[in-house]
Amino acid sequence: MANNSIAQSGNYIGVDLSAQTLRVALVAGDGQVLERRETVLDGEIVSRQTASIVQELRDHAASIEAIGIGIPGLVNPQTHEVVISSGMPSAEHGNLQVELSNLTGLPVALENDANAAAYGEYITGTGRGSRNMFYVTLGQGIGGAIILGGKLWLGASGFAGEFGHITIDPDGAECVCGNTGCLETVASAPNIVRRTHERLFRDGTSSLSKLSMNRDFTAADIAREARNGDDFALLMIERTGRYIGTAVASVINLLNIERIVLGGGVMEAGDLILDPIIREAGRRSFQPCFEATQIVAAGLGADAVAIGAAMLARDAEQI
Measure the CA dihedral 206/210/213/214, to 10°. Answer: -110
How big is the site for Zn ion, counted in residues (CB under 5 A)? 5
Please, what is the minimum distance in Å from the beta carbon of residue 68 to Zn ion?
27
Least separation in angstroms between residue 294's CB and Zn ion is 27
Total residues found in the chain within this entry: 319
Stretch that binds Zn ion, among 7-15, 167-175, 208-216, 240-248 (CB under 5 A): 167-175
- The distance of closest approach from Cβ of residue 138 to Zn ion in the complex, given in angstroms and rounded to an integer, is 14
Q: Choose among 311, 236, 246: nearest CA to 278.
A: 246
DSSP 88-101: -GGGGSS-HHHHHH
For residue 312, the minimal CB distance to Zn ion (Å) is: 26
CB closer to Zn ion out of 84 and 148: 84
CB count within 10 Å of CB 79 equals 10
CA-nearest of 106, 38, 43 to 71 is 43
Give least dist CB 239 to Zn ion, A.
19
DSSP state of 298: -
- Alpha helices (runs of H) in 34-188, residue ranges in sequence order: 46-58, 96-104, 113-124, 184-187
Residues 183-242 interacting with Zn ion (rule: CB under 5 A): none
64, amino acid identity: I
Q: What's the farthest any 2 CA atoms get from each other in the chain?
A: 64
The region of 42-50, 179-187, 248-256, 304-312 touching Zn ion under the rule CB under 5 A is 179-187
Cβ nearer to Zn ion, comparing 10 with 158: 158
**Interacting span for Zn ion (CB under 5 A) from 30-38, 174-182, 262-270, 305-313:** 174-182
Least separation in angstroms between CB 301 and Zn ion: 26
Binding mask 126-165 for Zn ion (x = CB under 5 A): ---------------------------------------x
For Zn ion, the closer of residues 143 and 276 by Cβ is 143
Compare residues 177 and 208 and give the one whose CB is closer to Zn ion: 177
Return the number of the residue (179 or 253) whose C-beta is nearest Zn ion.
Answer: 179
| Least distance (Å) between residue 88 CB and Zn ion | 19
Contacting Zn ion within 51-70 (CB under 5 A): none
179 forms part of the interface with Zn ion (CB under 5 A): yes
| Helix/strand/coil for 277 | helix
Which residue in the set 175, 193, 278, 306 belongs to the binding site for Zn ion (CB under 5 A)?
Answer: 175
Q: 241 to each of 80, 135, 183, how far by Cα in Å?
A: 35, 16, 11
Cα distance between residue 71 and residue 69, in whole Å: 6
- In whole angstroms, the minimum distance from the beta carbon of 177 to Zn ion comes to 3
Q: What does the DSSP assignment read for 165-217?
A: GSBS-TTSPBPTTS-BSBTHHHHSHHHHHHHHHHHHHH-GGGGGSGGGG-TT-
Please provide residue 214's backbone torsions phi and psi, each rounded to the nearest 5 degrees: -130, 105
182 lies in the binding site for Zn ion (CB under 5 A): yes
Residue 90 or 167 with smaller CB distance to Zn ion:
167
Residues that bind Zn ion in the complex, under the rule CB under 5 A: 165, 175, 177, 179, 182
